[in-house]
Amino acid sequence: MEVIEHDVVVVGGGAAGIRAAIAAIEEDPNVSVAMVSKVYPMRSHTVSAEGGAAAVAREDDTLEMHGYDTVKGSDFLGDQHVIEYFVEEAPKELTLLEHWGCPWSRNEDGTVATRAFGGMTTKRTWFAADKVGFHMLHALFQHSMQFDRIVRYDEQFVTRLLMEDGAVKGVVALDMRQGEVRLIRGRAVVLATGGAGKCFPFTTNGNIKTGDGMALAYRAGVPLKDMEFVQYHPTGLPGTGILITEATRGEGGHLKNSEGTRFLVEYDYGLGTKAELGPRDMISRAIIQEIQAGRGIEGPYGQYVHLDLTHLGEAKLKERLPFVLELARTYVGVDPVTQPIPIRPVVHYMMGGVDTNIDGATDLPGLYAAGEVACVSMNGANRLGSNSLTECLVFGARSGRCAVAFARGASAGDEASLRAQGEEEAHRIETLRGKNKGGETIAGVRREMQQAMEDGCGVYREQGSMDAAVSALAQLKGRYADLVLRDTSKVFNTEIIAALELGNMLDVAEAVAVSAAQRQESRGAHTRRDFTTRDDQNWLHHTLCHFDPAGPRIDRKPVTLGHWEPEERKY
Amino acid sequence: MSEVTKKTVVVTRFDPDQDEVPKTQSYEIPVQSDWKVLDALNYIKDEVDPTLSHRWSCRMAVCGSCGMMVNGEPKLTCKDALSNYGNTIEVEPLANFPVVRDLVVELDGFMERFKKVKPWIIRAKELAVEEGATRQSPQELADFKQWSMCINCMLCYSACPVVGNDPHFLGPAAIALGHRYNMDSRDEGSAERNEVMLEEGGVFACSYANECSEVCPKDVDPAAAVQQGKALSLLDWAKGLVLPRGSE
Ligand SMILES: Cc1cc2nc3c(=O)[nH]c(=O)nc-3n(C[C@H](O)[C@H](O)[C@H](O)COP(=O)(O)OP(=O)(O)OC[C@H]3O[C@@H](n4cnc5c(N)ncnc54)[C@H](O)[C@@H]3O)c2cc1C
Ligand code: FES
């Protein structure tokens, strides 16, 4: 078995992972960093982000305002010391990206342009037309290529954390091209593996967003935090779930029902004058209510409403939203210049994730997490659009630096014992390959898992349906053991990868459902028909979900308040 | 759902563990009228034959994973509508690349060429964060923006007649990327980069077939980048800034 040694191992080549790797080198140019990714870094799903990245840039804006907007958006579940640090670092990180070549859109005077976004009181979202994630990812990746001490391991699928004496010592990775398992040792590991939207049937997320890092940490004993908070984005294309960015509304787009009415203005959804610039959780609920009130539009994939951009004019759409034009034309055959776009709420983002502190450190010594995989607790119960890309940079950088500092004082571990863990893992994967006995297919179990999540953990939830999801998932985990696999080849065996991903998703989905079923209030994205209000008395705390072979175990953790007092969330 | 019909998808299969040479396999499957070619492959993978290997992720034409030959033309399969074709569709791995397995090709060579053009901002003195964002006018942005739109899907390498014959050729996407940084008002590295552009396999290896720009799914127009690159690197060379390597 091949054994490779580095100081720090970063798992993930999206915005958070690449930023962590670069920060490690900035912290100590002699450190050696492995960047391991199951796809080539530029394929990471950061690439799909469209709308922008938030950081205070204008004269009329302040860090205080960005902080308050974020706390209020989080329905007061975000940790306030984390948010204060975030808003302070945000402008620096986006400036760095500017220096590294990110093609930010510009004002006439050459300064960086900003646009309006949901839940933000002023224009503070930096953008590069409507391909922000794409440009940020490519700028980061290309910038990283100049550092020879960042060694890439592309198309290597991490299946397990290496442990010794209760500390992390690296990872086990399956090289997809060769089909061989190798050990990538490191005295600190940063997980930057992204989210888990693929636990649901209808999502803006790509095929690779399967919650792998969450499952890795969870099984190694780190709790998953606030998993019940799943963000539904209001505007996904029916059928595919492809995102139409919130920047469409930031640039002045309107949501309309079957009667052609701007329902966010006409009816009281608690959004006040914000209307289309309200936060995502509230607008998603408003759309569902419009549909239930009989004001939806019937289509081949169910009811939807309209996103109308026709009044913005072709010139503006071409300049600011060219990708939206391409997506609508290609995937629903609609030309936004002259026609409204059909949209409906779609699973988009996991507020929850691996429990970390402000350094990105978990309770497992040597293990860090940043980006969507982590819950450093800045998004609380509802993330504001355009905070996430910036979060990847701010906390990717901080965990990269902290991982280097930790690695300095940590031992590399005993090779023989680490090898033994690798052998065990190789054996587990080998038994999966071409595992001919069994009655369940990967696609079948995946489909049922996704359906259970949609039924139980949708925009609106109630005890009965969440409990049904919990038992369906427990049962599906049993059936997972009975999977049949047909591909016996070692070379680029995507069937094994799909099976491993499904195993990860089942654990993550169960954590979501169990966390949701126990929170008896409505807060942010967790909206219950049977407990319709927020209850700070009993529920102003984080949920922790611990892995236990007997089934997930729930615990709680206090929220850090201090700067902003919880108040009713009204716009 | 939209209307369902039947189509036959003929896929190139190759497993180096078992096969000496590639073979084809036909799948007759039900397809929906709004499907892309990728949807058909995913259907086969999930419902018919889980041993098929292909790459994909974003399914929204931005991650660049899903390039393949469809009826002999390089295509981004998540963007390419099935309805563009008749009842039989042939899907092969991208031309001009070594095949790893089935529809999966090897990218090592591509990634190396990429790095060769130094695709990062080069400055005599690095800026500090405290100096704030550089000013760049909308026009200066427009001067390079188009070349920054490449999603690395490699369709242009498949279409390029030179890539097929000259293993040293940087190729359209890498040249366009180098040109992107050369044209960026924040960059001062064009002299360094043009050394690479003028080497054997650089811009002058291009025979200007223009195939690359025709197949580009993102309208990057790499052929234009190559032409502009030729002019600019020659200008640098004439000014004595650059000597082609080995000519000292
Ligand atoms: C369509 C869309 C639009 C969005 N728009 C915006 C926006 O405008 N603004 C905003 O702020 N946010 C936006 N978001 C959210 C934001 O883009 C993501 O939260 C963020 O990009 C996540 O980055 P990441 O680095 O954490 O993960 P990713 O970019 O998902 O990267 C994960 C990395 O981990 C690797 N990996 C995963 N599992 C394994 C494994 N087992 N082994 C090895 N490697 C592994 C992957 O290969 C990949 O490199 C959007 C999200 C989507 C889906
Ligand atoms: S799957 Fe991402 S470009 Fe086609």
CB contact under 8 A, B63 and A442: no
The predicted pLDDT at position B239 comes to 74
Q: B47 and B140 share a domain? A: no
Pocket test for ligand 2, best of B37, B54, B66 (most atoms within 8 A of CB): B66
Radius of gyration (Cα) for chain A, nearest Å? 23
CB contact under 8 A, A103 and B115: no
Same domain flag for B113 and B101? no
Domains and CATH numbers, chain A: 236-345 (3.90.700.10), 427-539 (1.20.58.100)
- Same-domain check for residues B238 and B138: yes
In this prediction the ipTM stands at: 0.97
Into how many domains does chain B fold?
Answer: 2
A-chain residues near B61 (CB < 8 A)? 326-327, 330
Measured from the Cα of B66, ligand 2's closest atom is 4
Q: Which residue has the tokens 């100590």?
A: A28
Of residues B57, B61, B137, nearest to A330 (C-beta): B61
Write down the catalytic residue from A45, A66, A152, A233. A233
The answer to whether B108 faces chain A, any CB pair under 8 Å, is no
- Tens of pLDDT, residue by residue over B110-149, are 999 999 999 999 999 999 999 999 999 999 999 999 999 9
Q: Is B64 on the interface with A (CB under 8 A)?
A: yes
Q: Which residues contact A457 (CB under 8 A, 6 or more apart)?
A: A200, A228, A230, A466, A469, A512, A513, A516
Residues of chain B with pLDDT under 50: 245-248
- Boundary residue ending a domain (B45, B72, B105): B105
Assess whether A479 carries a catalytic annotation.
Answer: no
> Which of B51, B81, B105 represents a domain boundary (last residue)?
B105
Contact A101 B181 (CB under 8 A): yes
Region of residue A303 (phi > 0: left; psi between -120 and 50: alpha; otherwise: beta):
beta
Q: What is the mean pLDDT of residues A495-509?
A: 98
Pocket of ligand 2 (CB under 6 A): B 56-59, 61-66, 76, 78
CA B206 / ligand 2 centre spacing (Å): 28
Which one of the ligands is nearest to A44 CA?
1
Cβ-based neighbour number of residue A60 at 10 Å: 10
Is B33 touching A (CB cutoff 8 A)? Answer: no
The string of DSSP codes covering B155-207 is HHHHH-HHHHH-TT---HHHHHHHHHHHT-TT---HHHHHHHHHSTTSGGG--
Which among A206, A301, A326 has CB closest to B59? A206
What confidence score (pLDDT) does residue B232 get? 84
- Considering the domain architecture, whether residues B132 and B71 belong to the same structural domain is answered as no
Give chain A positions within 8 Å (CB) of B59: 206-207, 240, 242
**A203-223 pLDDT, tens per residue?**
999 999 999 999 999 999 999
Q: Judge if B139 and B64 occupy the same domain.
A: no
Cβ contact (<8 Å) for A99 and B184? no
**Whether residue B148 is found in the same domain as residue B63:** no
CA of A207 to the centre of ligand 2 (A): 10
Chain B residue numbers with beta carbons less than 8 Å from the beta carbon of A329 are none
* Band (A228; pLDDT cuts 50, 70, 90): very high
pLDDT over threshold 60, residue A505: yes
Q: Are A571 and A274 in contact (CB under 8 A)?
A: yes
Looking at the fold, whether B45 and B113 belong to one and the same domain comes out as no
The predicted pLDDT at position A436 comes to 87
Contact A489 B126 (CB under 8 A): no
CA distance A30 to chain B (A): 20
End-to-end CA distance of chain B: 67
Indicate the residue of A109, A443, A491 with minimum beta-carbon distance to B17: A491
Provide the CATH number for the domain around residue B213: 1.10.1060.10
CB contact under 8 A, B129 and A135: no
B237 assigned to some structural domain: yes
The per-residue pLDDT for B238 is 75
Taken in order B46, B50, B52, B56, is the CA torsion positive or negative? positive
> Taking a C-beta distance cutoff of 8 angstroms, is the pair B154, B107 a contact?
yes
Task: Report the residue of chain A nearest B42, measured CA to CA.
Answer: A443
Q: What is the pLDDT of residue B1?
A: 53
Main-chain dihedrals φ then ψ at residue A394, nearest 5 degrees:
-60, -50
Q: Which residues pair with A156 in a beta bridge?
A: A175
Residues of B whose CB is below 8 A from A48: 58, 60, 62-63
Distance A329 CA to ligand 2 centre (A): 16
Question: End of a domain among B61, B78, B105?
Answer: B105
Helix axes of B138-145 and B172-182: crossing angle, nearest 10 degrees: 160
| B227 and B119 part of one domain | yes
H/E run at residue A453: helix A442-456
**Residue B129 to residue A39, Cβ atoms within 8 A:** no
Asked, for residue B230, whether it belongs to a domain, the answer is yes
Q: Which pLDDT value is given to residue B212?
A: 96
Q: Is the CB of A341 under 6 A from ligand 1?
A: no
Please give, rounded to a whole number of angstroms, the shortest distance from the CA of B30 to a CA of chain A: 17
pLDDT tens for A158-181 read: 999 999 999 999 999 999 999 999
Structure tokens at A401: 């630096």
Residues B98 and B119 in one domain: no
Can you give the pLDDT at residue B248? 36
Rounded to 5 degrees, what angle do the CA atoms B16, B20, B22 make?
80
The number of the ligand 1 atom at minimal distance from the alpha carbon of A348 is 53
Q: At what angle do helices B190-198 and B172-182 cross, to 10 degrees?
A: 160
pLDDT digits (tens, 9 = 90+) for B53-76: 999 999 999 999 999 999 999 999
B38 falls within a domain: yes
Q: Tell me: do B99 and B189 sit in the same domain.
A: no
DSSP string covering A495-524, please? HHHHHHHHHHHHHHHHHHHHHHHH--S-BT
Residues of chain A neighbouring B126 (CB-CB closer than 8 A) = 99
Task: Please give the distance, rounded to the nearest whole angstrom, from the Cα atom of residue A87 to the centre of ligand 2.
Answer: 33
Residues of chain A with Cβ-Cβ distance to B102 below 8 Å are 492
Q: Which residues of A479-497 are buried (b: 16+ CB within 10 A; e: fewer)?
A: bbeebbbebebbbbbbbbb
Residue with tokens 């992204």: A194
Query: Which member of A94, A487, A491 has the closest CB to residue B100?
Result: A491
Q: Is B23 at the interface with chain A, CB within 8 A?
A: no
Which domain covers residue B43, as residue numbers? Answer: 4-105
Please report whether residue B131 resides in a domain: yes
pTM of the model: 0.97
Domain contains B178: yes
Mean pLDDT of A446-458: 98
Asked whether residue B247 is assigned to any structural domain, the reply reads no
- Is B93 found in the same domain as B124? no
Radius of gyration in angstroms for the set of CA atoms belonging to chain B, rounded to a whole number: 21
**Cβ contact A145–B1 (<8 Å):** no
Alpha-carbon gap, residue B56 to B61, rounded angstroms: 10
A249 labelled catalytic: yes
Is B13 a domain residue? yes
Residue recorded with tokens 């990967």: A442
**Per-residue model confidence as pLDDT tens digits over A332-386:** 999 999 999 999 999 999 999 999 999 999 999 999 999 999 999 999 999 999 9
**The token pair that represents A339 in the structure block:** 């026609």
Ligand number nearest CA of B54 is 2
Contacts of B177 in chain A (CB under 8 A): 142
Structure tokens at A287: 């759309």
Are the Cβ atoms of A134 and B151 closer than 8 angstroms? yes
CB contact under 8 A, B57 and A207: yes
CB A23, CB A400: distance < 8 Å: yes
Helix orientation angle between A132-144 and A80-99, rounded to the nearest 10 degrees? 70
- pLDDT band with cut points at 50, 70 and 90 for residue A9: very high
Share of chain A above pLDDT 70, in %: 100
Q: Which residue of A has its CA nearest to B120?
A: A143
Q: What is the average per-residue pLDDT within A309-333?
A: 97
* Rounded Cα–Cα distance for residues A255 and A141 (Å): 36
Q: Is residue B248 part of a domain?
A: no
The answer to whether A134 and B109 have CB atoms below 8 angstroms apart is no
Contacts of A443 in chain B (CB under 8 A): 46-47, 50
Point out the catalytic residue in the list A115, A124, A135, A249: A249
Do B85 and B114 have their domain in common? no
Q: Please give the residue of chain B at the shortest CA–CA distance from A50.
A: B62
Q: Which ligand 1 atom is nearest residue A37's CA? A: 44
CATH label of the domain that carries residue B78? 3.10.20.30
Structure tokens given for A240: 């595919």
The answer to whether B87 faces chain A, any CB pair under 8 Å, is no
As a whole number, mean pLDDT of residues A530-552 equals 97
Using CB atoms, pick whichever of B16, B34, B54 lies closest to residue A239: B34
Top residue of A19, A151, A330, A483 to mutate, by most chain B CBs within 10 Å, is A330
- Ligand 1 pocket residue status of A49, Cβ below 6 Å: yes
Separation of alpha carbons A347 and A12, rounded Å: 22
Task: Locate A480 and state its tokens.
Answer: 């997972």
Instruction: Pick the atom of ligand 2 nearest to B63's CA.
Output: 2
Name the closest-CA residue to atom 21, ligand 1.
A46
Contact A142 B129 (CB under 8 A): no
Ligand 1 centroid to Cα of residue A372, in Å, is 6
